[in-house]
C-alpha cells in the first residue's frame, strides 16, 4: 500500500504542471488576442488598414506595404501607443522611390528698346558664358537682365538647335518675345511695316530647325485710311469691290460674306486699317450691299459716313423709292444716304442714242497720252493740257479737244480728277460724262483701285458716281524685279572685288581711277534705295590704331559722299570705320596690307558674318543712319574741313603706302605731305553740289582754320600754326569727321595724337 503513495505525489505534481502550462498557454493566447485586436483597431482608426498585424507570444509583428516612409513610421507609432513599443516588430516594406523626373527646360526672352531680359531654367551643361556673350553682342549698349537658373540634368534632344534658332530670332527681331523649349519655339514680335513682317516671317521659317515646332505671331501697324472708303458694284462684269476697308478681321469677314451672297466670286482684298467712322461700319456696309443686290445692279460707295447709292437706269421709280427708304431706315444713325436713279439714255429719230457730252483720255503702254472730247473754255483747256504734261511728260501728251460752253459747272474738277486717276495706270482710259466717270486699265500697283476710289471720293464728293475697273498685273509692278537686300549687297561687293575703291596714301581722297567703280555702285543703288546698308572702311595695321580707325571712318564717309554727289538717296546708308580690325590677309606682306585696305558694304538688320556682328549692331546702325539723314552736304563739308584742319596741325598717321619708312620718319613725312591733300578733300567736299544745287557754307561756329581748309584751292598749303592754334582743344566740341549723331551710344571722340 505504500508503493502507490510513492506515485501519488509525482502524479499530483505532473497534473499541477499540466494545469499550470494550460493556464499559461491560455493566458498567452488571451494576451496575444487582446494585443492583436487592440493594435488592429488602432491602425484602422488611424487609417492604416493596409498593415497586417500578427502576434507571436508577446511580440506584435506588423507587415504590409506602406505608401511611403512616413506612413510606415506613423503605423509603428500607432502600434506603440497600444502595446509596449519594444514588443512591436517592424516587417513592413516601402516601395522603391521613383527616379526624379528631370524638369522641363525652357526660357523666355524679351527684347525691346530698353534691353533684353531672360528668365527660365536651362541645363547646367549649356555654355552659360558663351550664351551671355552672344546676347551681350545682340544687346549692344542696352541692358541685359539675366534671371536664368540651371539644373544638372541631361540636355534634352534638340535643345541646342532650338537655342541657336532662338538667338537668331532675337537678333533679327528688335521688339519681340521668344518662348523656347527643346521641342517648341513661340515668337511674338512687332514690325514697322507689312513688308518687314513678310520678310521676317519668311526668314524665320527658313531658319527654323525641322524637329522644332514653330509658332510665329508678328504684327504690323495698321495703315491709316482716309477717307475710310468702300465701293461695291454690280454690273455686266459681275459683283466686285473697287475698294474695300474694314477696321478688324471680324468686320472684314462679315463684309466679304455679304459680298459673296450678292454674287461676288473669286478672292476679295479688304484692307484692315485705322480711321473707321464708327464701330457700326460692317453693319452699314452689309445692309447697303444687300440693298444693292435687291436692285440687281448699280454701285454703293462709302466715304467715311457718306453713302452714295447709284441704281441701274432701268430700275422703276417705285422699286427705287421702296429700297432706298428701307436702306435709310436700316443704316446706323451716323450714316447719311444719297441715292441716285440715272435717267435712261434718250434715243433720237435715227435709232441711236444722242449721248451725253464726254471727255476721253487714253494712255498707251508706251506712256503716250491722248486727250479728246469737250472742255468748258480756253482756260480749262490750258489748265488740262498743263496738268497732263506735268503728270505724263511734255513729249508724251497729244491734245485734240474742243470747247463746249454748255457743259456742267463741275466739269473742270471732274476732268482734272479723272486725269489724276489715269496717272495710277500703266495703260488705260478715262471717260468723263455729266453723270458718271469711267476709269479702266492696267496697273502695277496692287492698291491702285482703292487709291483711285479714295481720290475720286475726295475730289468729287461722296454723291458723285464713278466706275473703276482696274486690273493689277504683277509684271508691271516696279518692285517686282527689284533685287533682294542680299542681292544688293552681293552685287556691290562683287564690283568692289573686281575693282577696289582706292585712296591717296594716308588720306580720304578717292583716286580718279576709282570713279568708274563708284559709278557702277551708284547704278546698283538706284534699285536698292530701301535697303539699309553700312559702308565699312578698313585699313592695314601700319600706324596707330586710333588714327587707323579715324582714317577708315573718313574713307567710308567719302564713299557715302561720292554716292550722294551722284544723286543717290543715302538715308538708308551709314558709314563706319573699323580701322585695322577684321583683316582678310596677312599684314606682314605688302600684298596682304593692300588687301586689308578696303571698303565693304554690309547689310543692316540682316544676319551677318560673325566678324560683322561683333563690330556692327542694330543700335549703332540706327544711330548712324539717323545721323546720315539729319546731316546735309554742307555740314559734312564743314565737318570734314574741321577734322582736316585738326589733323593738319597734329602728327598724322603713317601713310599706308610707306611701309618701308621707319615709323618716326613716316609720321613726319605724312604730316608734311598728306595734310594738304586732306585740306583739298575738305575743299572738294565743300564744293560738291547738293540736290538743291546750293553751295555749302561753313557753320557759324566753325573755327578760322577750319573755314580756310573748307574753301582752300587745290594748291592750298598746310594751315599755319596760328590756324592750328585756333582749333578747339575740347574733343567733345569738335567731333571727328563722319561722326554726326551726338548722343548715339557708339559715338565717342577719338583721342588726339600726342604732340
CA distance 709 to 694: 19
Q: For the residues 631-642, what does the mean pLDDT come to?
A: 37
Secondary element (H or E) of residue 689: none
Q: Are residues 277 and 363 in the same domain?
A: no
Give the burial class of 525: count Cβ atoms within 10 A of its Cβ; 0-12 exposed, 13-18 middle, 19 or more buried. Answer: buried
Cell of 214: 514653330
646-668 residue pLDDT tens: 333 343 333 333 333 333 333 33
Starting at the edge strand that comes first in sequence, how are the strands of the sheet with 59-65 ordered? 52-56, 59-65, 88-93
428-463 residue pLDDT tens: 899 998 888 989 899 888 888 888 988 888 888 767
3-state secondary structure 517-529: HHHHHHHHHHCCC
Strands 436-443 and 465-472: parallel
Grid look-up 458718271 returns: 436
Q: For the residues 218-224, what does the mean pLDDT come to?
A: 84
Q: How confident is the model at residue 59 (pLDDT cuts 50, 70, 90)?
A: confident
What integer pLDDT is reported at residue 495 of this predicted model?
Answer: 92
What integer pLDDT is reported at residue 679 of this predicted model?
Answer: 37
Report the candidate in 439, 431, 425 with the shortest Cα–Cα distance to residue 473.
425
Domain housing 472: 359-476
Weakest mean pLDDT among 188-192, 201-205, 682-686: 682-686
Is 739 contained in some domain?
no
Q: Are residues 120 and 44 in the same domain?
A: no
Q: Are residues 208 and 111 in the same domain?
A: yes
What integer pLDDT is reported at residue 436 of this predicted model?
Answer: 86
Weakest mean pLDDT among 225-234, 247-256, 505-514, 721-730: 721-730
Is 402 contained in some domain?
yes
Please identify, among 190, 219, 248, the residue that sits at the C-terminal boundary of a domain: 219
Q: Are residues 453 and 509 in the same domain?
A: no
Q: Are residues 318 and 365 in the same domain?
A: no
CATH assignment at residue 71: 3.30.1340.30
Q: Are residues 450 and 534 in the same domain?
A: no
Q: Are residues 668 and 565 in the same domain?
A: yes
Is it the case that residue 252 has pLDDT exceeding 90? yes
Q: For the residues 60-76, what does the mean pLDDT come to?
A: 88
747 vs 171: which has the higher pLDDT? 171
How does DSSP assign 84-135, residue by residue? -GGGEEEEEE-PPPPPPPPP--EEEEEEETTEEEEEEEEETTS-HHHHHHHH
- Neighbour-count burial for 258-275, b at 16+ CB within 10 Å, e otherwise: bbeebebeeeeebbbbee
Centre a 10 Å sphere on the Cβ of residue 157 and count the other Cβ atoms it contains.
11
> How many structural domains does the chain have?
5
Is 400 contained in some domain?
yes
Q: Are residues 459 and 523 in the same domain?
A: no
Q: Please tell me whether residue 536 adopts helix, strand or coil conformation.
A: strand
**Mean pLDDT (the chain, rounded):** 77
What integer pLDDT is reported at residue 261 of this predicted model?
Answer: 94
Is it the case that residue 372 has pLDDT exceeding 50? yes
Weakest mean pLDDT among 73-77, 78-82, 513-517, 730-734: 730-734
What integer pLDDT is reported at residue 344 of this predicted model?
Answer: 65
Centroid of chain to Cα 693: 36
Grid look-up 487714253 returns: 362
Is it the case that residue 751 has pLDDT exceeding 80? no
Q: How confident is the model at residue 176 (pLDDT cuts 50, 70, 90)?
A: very high
Report the candidate in 65, 45, 61 with the shortest Cα–Cα distance to residue 53.
61
Q: How confident is the model at residue 123 (pLDDT cuts 50, 70, 90)?
A: very high
Cell of 15: 497534473
CATH assignment at residue 184: 3.40.1520.20
Is 742 contained in some domain?
no
3-state secondary structure 250-295: HHHHHHHHHHHHCCECCCCCCEECECCCCCCHHHHHHHHHHHHHHH
Select, from the ranges 32-36, 404-408, 517-521, 710-714, the one with the highest average predicted confidence (pLDDT). Answer: 517-521
Q: For the residues 269-279, what does the mean pLDDT come to?
A: 90
Alpha helices in 393-431 (DSSP H): 411-422
Predicted TM-score (pTM) above 0.85: no
Grid look-up 523649349 returns: 181
Q: For the residues 92-100, what does the mean pLDDT come to?
A: 78
What integer pLDDT is reported at residue 197 of this predicted model?
Answer: 87
Cell of 48: 492604416
Is 644 contained in some domain?
yes
Is 331 contained in some domain?
yes
Q: Are residues 197 and 275 in the same domain?
A: no
Weakest mean pLDDT among 115-129, 140-154, 342-356: 342-356
How does DSSP assign 588-622, residue by residue? TSHHHHHHHSEEEEEESSS---HHHHHH--HHHHH
Weakest mean pLDDT among 2-6, 313-317, 548-552: 2-6
Select, from the ranges 66-70, 115-119, 344-348, the one with the highest average predicted confidence (pLDDT). Answer: 115-119
Please identify, among 192, 219, 246, the residue that sits at the C-terminal boundary of a domain: 219
Is 348 contained in some domain?
no
Q: Are residues 628 and 546 in the same domain?
A: yes
Is it the case that residue 498 has pLDDT exceeding 70? yes
What integer pLDDT is reported at residue 707 of this predicted model?
Answer: 35
Is it the case that residue 467 has pLDDT exceeding 50? yes
Is it the case that residue 504 has pLDDT exceeding 50? yes
Is it the case that residue 674 has pLDDT exceeding 70? no
Q: How far is CA 294 from CA 212, 231, 239, 287, 547, in A?
A: 53, 17, 13, 11, 80
Q: Please tell me whether residue 56 adopts helix, strand or coil conformation.
A: strand
Q: How many residues does the chain have?
A: 755
What integer pLDDT is reported at residue 107 of this predicted model?
Answer: 94
What integer pLDDT is reported at residue 731 of this predicted model?
Answer: 38
310 touches 327 (CB < 8 A): no
CA distance 397 to 385: 8
Q: Are residues 299 and 397 in the same domain?
A: no
CA distance 656 to 507: 9
Weakest mean pLDDT among 304-308, 348-352, 364-368, 742-746: 742-746
Is 737 contained in some domain?
no
CA distance 121 to 153: 11
Please identify, among 219, 238, 257, the residue that sits at the C-terminal boundary of a domain: 219
Centroid of chain to Cα 573: 18
Weakest mean pLDDT among 8-12, 104-108, 170-174: 8-12
Centroid of chain to Cα 57: 84
CATH assignment at residue 709: 3.30.1330.60
Q: Are residues 300 and 441 in the same domain?
A: no
588-605 residue pLDDT tens: 898 898 899 999 999 886
Centroid of chain to Cα 144: 21
Amino acid at each position: 500500500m505504500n508503493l502507490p503513495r510513492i506515485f501519488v505525489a509525482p502524479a499530483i505534481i505532473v497534473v499541477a504542471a499540466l494545469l499550470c502550462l494550460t493556464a499559461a498557454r491560455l493566458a498567452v493566447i488571451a494576451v496575444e488576442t487582446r494585443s492583436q485586436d487592440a493594435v488592429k483597431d488602432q491602425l484602422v482608426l488611424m487609417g492604416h488598414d493596409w498593415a497586417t498585424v500578427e502576434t507571436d507570444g508577446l511580440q506584435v509583428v506588423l507587415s504590409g506595404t506602406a505608401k511611403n516612409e512616413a506612413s510606415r513610421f506613423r503605423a509603428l507609432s500607432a502600434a506603440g501607443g497600444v502595446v509596449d513599443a519594444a514588443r512591436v516588430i517592424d516587417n513592413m516594406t516601402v516601395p522603391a522611390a521613383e527616379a526624379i523626373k528631370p524638369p522641363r527646360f525652357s526660357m523666355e526672352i524679351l527684347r525691346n528698346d530698353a534691353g533684353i531680359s531672360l528668365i527660365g531654367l536651362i541645363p547646367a551643361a549649356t555654355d552659360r558664358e558663351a550664351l551671355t556673350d552672344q546676347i551681350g553682342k545682340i544687346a549692344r549698349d542696352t541692358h541685359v537682365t539675366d534671371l536664368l537658373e540651371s539644373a544638372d540634368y541631361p540636355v534634352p534632344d534638340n535643345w541646342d538647335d532650338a537655342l541657336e534658332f532662338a538667338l537668331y530670332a532675337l537678333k533679327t527681331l528688335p521688339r519681340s518675345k521668344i518662348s523656347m523649349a527643346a521641342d517648341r519655339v513661340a515668337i511674338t514680335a512687332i514690325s514697322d511695316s507689312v513688308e518687314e513682317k513678310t520678310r521676317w516671317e519668311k526668314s524665320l521659317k527658313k531658319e527654323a530647325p525641322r524637329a522644332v515646332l514653330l509658332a510665329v505671331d508678328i504684327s504690323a501697324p495698321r495703315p491709316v485710311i482716309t477717307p475710310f472708303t468702300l465701293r461695291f458694284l454690280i454690273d455686266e462684269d459681275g459683283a466686285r469691290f473697287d475698294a474695300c476697308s474694314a477696321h478688324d478681321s471680324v468686320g472684314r469677314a462679315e463684309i466679304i460674306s455679304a459680298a459673296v451672297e450678292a454674287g461676288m466670286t473669286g478672292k476679295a482684298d479688304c484692307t484692315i486699317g485705322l480711321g473707321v467712322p464708327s464701330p457700326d461700319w460692317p453693319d452699314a456696309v452689309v445692309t447697303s450691299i444687300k440693298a444693292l443686290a435687291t436692285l440687281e445692279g448699280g454701285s454703293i460707295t462709302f466715304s467715311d459716313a457718306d453713302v452714295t447709292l447709284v441704281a441701274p437706269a432701268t430700275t422703276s421709280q417705285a422699286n427705287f423709292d421702296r429700297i432706298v427708304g428701307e436702306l435709310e431706315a436700316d443704316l446706323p444713325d451716323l450714316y447719311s444716304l444719297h441715292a441716285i436713279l440715272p435717267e435712261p439714255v434718250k434715243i433720237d429719230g435715227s435709232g441711236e442714242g444722242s449721248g451725253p457730252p464726254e471727255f476721253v483720255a487714253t494712255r498707251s503702254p508706251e506712256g503716250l497720252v491722248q486727250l479728246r472730247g469737250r472742255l468748258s473754255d480756253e482756260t480749262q483747256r490750258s489748265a488740262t493740257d498743263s496738268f497732263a504734261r506735268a503728270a505724263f511728260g511734255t513729249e508724251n501728251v497729244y491734245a485734240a479737244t474742243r470747247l463746249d460752253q454748255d457743259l456742267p459747272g463741275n466739269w473742270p474738277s471732274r476732268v482734272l480728277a479723272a486725269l489724276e486717276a489715269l496717272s495710277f495706270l500703266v495703260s488705260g482710259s478715262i471717260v468723263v460724262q455729266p453723270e458718271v466717270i469711267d476709269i479702266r486699265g492696267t496697273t502695277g500697283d496692287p492698291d491702285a483701285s482703292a487709291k483711285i476710289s479714295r481720290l475720286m471720293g475726295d475730289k468729287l464728293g461722296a454723291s458723285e458716281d464713278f466706275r473703276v475697273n482696274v486690273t493689277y498685273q504683277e509684271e508691271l509692278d516696279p518692285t517686282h524685279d527689284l533685287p533682294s537686300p542680299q542681292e544688293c549687297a552681293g552685287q556691290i561687293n562683287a564690283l568692289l572685288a573686281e575693282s577696289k575703291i582706292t585712296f591717296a596714301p594716308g588720306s580720304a581722297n578717292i583716286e580718279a581711277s576709282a570713279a568708274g567703280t563708284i559709278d557702277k555702285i551708284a547704278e546698283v543703288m538706284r534699285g536698292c534705295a530701301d535697303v539699309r546698308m553700312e559702308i565699312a572702311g578698313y585699313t592695314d595695321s601700319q600706324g596707330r590704331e586710333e588714327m587707323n580707325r579715324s582714317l577708315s571712318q573718313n574713307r567710308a564717309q567719302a564713299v557715302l559722299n561720292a554716292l550722294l554727289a551722284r544723286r543717290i538717296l543715302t538715308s538708308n546708308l551709314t558709314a563706319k570705320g573699323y580701322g585695322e580690325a577684321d583683316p582678310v590677309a596677312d599684314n606682314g606682306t605688302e600684298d596682304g596690307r593692300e588687301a586689308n585696305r578696303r571698303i565693304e558694304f554690309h547689310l543692316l538688320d540682316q544676319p551677318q558674318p560673325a566678324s560683322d556682328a561683333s563690330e556692327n549692331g542694330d543700335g549703332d546702325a540706327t544711330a548712324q543712319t539717323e545721323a546720315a539723314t539729319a546731316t546735309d552736304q554742307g555740314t559734312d563739308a564743314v565737318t570734314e574741313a574741321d577734322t582736316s584742319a585738326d589733323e593738319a596741325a597734329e602728327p598724322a598717321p603713317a601713310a599706308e603706302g610707306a611701309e618701308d619708312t621707319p615709323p618716326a620718319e613716316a609720321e613726319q613725312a605724312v604730316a608734311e605731305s598728306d595734310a594738304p591733300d586732306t585740306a583739298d578733300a575738305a575743299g572738294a567736299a565743300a564744293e560738291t553740289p547738293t540736290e538743291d544745287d546750293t553751295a555749302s557754307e561753313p557753320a557759324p561756329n566753325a573755327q578760322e582754320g577750319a573755314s580756310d581748309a573748307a574753301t582752300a584751292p587745290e594748291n592750298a598749303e598746310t594751315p599755319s600754326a596760328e590756324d592750328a592754334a585756333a582749333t578747339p582743344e575740347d574733343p567733345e566740341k569738335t567731333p571727328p569727321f563722319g561722326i554726326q549723331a551726338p548722343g548715339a551710344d557708339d559715338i565717342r571722340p577719338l583721342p588726339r595724337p600726342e604732340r
